[in-house]
């Protein structure tokens, strides 16, 4: 899968690109079953909210075959290689849940800010590409993003160890207000099977889900192989140490393994 010139320009300007209906209902069904299997497991990679509901499952591609195949899917890997200009490896893999009624907030942050501070990733030559496993609506905790914020570099951040079960380098209110006043806010919504790409420096967050509808999004954080991390203080299942370039599988790999 290749992005057009206009899509590449939109990503460069806005720091994000939303593509609807990239995966079929049959492919989404495979991913939904896989998410249920992963969240049912009791293992350190699966983090939970204070209520016990699933929050995120790290490194699911290492212990679930459907997510392994998604992690090498050409519809995900090829556009990122196109943007980053070469081969990529998997820096992080997350299956993020927002459970009905119990899905908690993800505070305002930049992913590359964490990757630089915690993992010593040299440059922001890394980004996220996400697949909606459920329909994402305005009601069930969509991702909020500030377009263009990636162009202002890494912002000052504080290490929040208390708000949720997962520690995060977060931006203060004044910084978020300034950036949002300049760039606005968007909350991409769409059916299951939609795809979202965004720059590692793009400022984003997501609100709690108090609706009766759960939603799950799979995030691949991909990094150019020359830009691999230099510090290994976080667990390997959070910040991966296998810098082998990903070789894309066949386009039908989810339904024809």
Least confident of 121-125, 143-147, 164-168, 187-191: 164-168
Gap between the Cα atoms of 77 and 101, Å rounded: 33
- Please give the average per-residue pLDDT across 95-103, as a whole number: 92
What pLDDT does residue 49 have?
Answer: 86
Gap between the Cα atoms of 244 and 235, Å rounded: 18
The residue whose two tokens read 């501070």 is 117
What pLDDT does residue 167 have?
Answer: 67
What pLDDT does residue 50 have?
Answer: 84
Gap between the Cα atoms of 128 and 16, Å rounded: 9
Q: How far is CA 80 from CA 5, 77, 101, 197, in A?
A: 14, 5, 34, 8
What pLDDT does residue 161 have?
Answer: 54
* pTM of the entire predicted model: 0.93
The residue whose two tokens read 């299997």 is 37
Least confident of 84-93, 167-176, 192-201: 167-176
Average pLDDT, the chain: 94
* Residue 126 clears pLDDT 70, i.e. is over it: yes
- Domains of the chain are 5-227 (2.60.120.620)
Contact criterion met (CB below 8 Å) for 67 and 218:
yes
The residue whose two tokens read 């990094």 is 223
Q: Binning pLDDT at 50, 70 and 90, where does residue 16 land?
A: very high
Contact criterion met (CB below 8 Å) for 75 and 23:
yes
- Please give the average per-residue pLDDT across 100-124, as a whole number: 93
* Residue 171 clears pLDDT 80, i.e. is over it: yes
What pLDDT does residue 21 have?
Answer: 86
User: What three-state secondary structure class fits 16?
Assistant: strand
Contact criterion met (CB below 8 Å) for 196 and 17:
yes
Q: How many helices and strands (H and E) does the chain possess?
A: 6, 12
Contact criterion met (CB below 8 Å) for 154 and 110:
yes
Alpha helices in 15-171 (DSSP H): 25-39, 65-70, 74-84, 111-119
Gap between the Cα atoms of 116 and 132, Å rounded: 27
**Strand bridging mode 144-145 / 126-132:** unpaired
Gap between the Cα atoms of 82 and 167, Å rounded: 32
Q: What percent of the chain has pLDDT over 70?
A: 96
Q: Binning pLDDT at 50, 70 and 90, where does residue 9 land?
A: very high
Cβ-in-10-Å burial (0-12, 13-18, 19+) of 40 comes to exposed
Gap between the Cα atoms of 184 and 93, Å rounded: 28
For 24-61, the pLDDT digits (tens) are 999 999 999 999 999 999 999 999 988 888 899 999 99
Q: Binning pLDDT at 50, 70 and 90, where does residue 163 land?
A: low
- Please give the average per-residue pLDDT across 195-210, as a whole number: 96
Residue 115 backbone phi and psi in degrees, to 5 = -60, -35
């Amino acid at each position: 899968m290749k992005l057009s010139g206009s899509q590449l320009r939109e990503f460069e300007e806005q720091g994000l690109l939303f593509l609807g209906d990239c995966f079929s209902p049959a492919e989404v069904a495979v991913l939904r079953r896989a998410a249920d299997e992963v969240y049912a497991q009791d293992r350190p990679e699966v983090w939970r909210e204070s209520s016990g509901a699933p929050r995120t499952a790290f490194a699911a591609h290492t212990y679930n075959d459907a997510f392994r195949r998604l992690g090498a899917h050409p519809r995900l890997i090829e556009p990122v290689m196109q943007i980053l200009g070469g081969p990529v490896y998997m820096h992080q893999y997350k299956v993020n849940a927002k459970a009905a009624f119990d899905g908690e907030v993800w505070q305002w942050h930049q992913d590359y800010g964490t990757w630089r501070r915690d993992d010593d990733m040299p440059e922001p030559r890394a980004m996220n590409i996400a697949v909606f496993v459920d329909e994402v609506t305005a009601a069930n905790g969509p991702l909020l993003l500030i377009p263009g914020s990636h162009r202002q570099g890494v912002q000052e951040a504080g290490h929040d160890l208390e708000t949720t079960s997962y520690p995060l380098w977060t931006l203060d209110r004044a910084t978020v207000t300034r950036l949002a006043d300049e760039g606005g806010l968007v909350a991409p919504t769409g059916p299951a099977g939609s795809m979202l790409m965004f720059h590692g420096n793009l400022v984003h967050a997501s609100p709690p889900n108090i609706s009766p509808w759960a939603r799950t999004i799979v995030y691949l954080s991909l990094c150019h192989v020359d830009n691999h991390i230099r510090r290994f203080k976080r667990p390997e299942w959070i910040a991966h140490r296998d810098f082998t370039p990903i070789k894309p599988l066949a386009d039908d790999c989810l339904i024809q393994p």
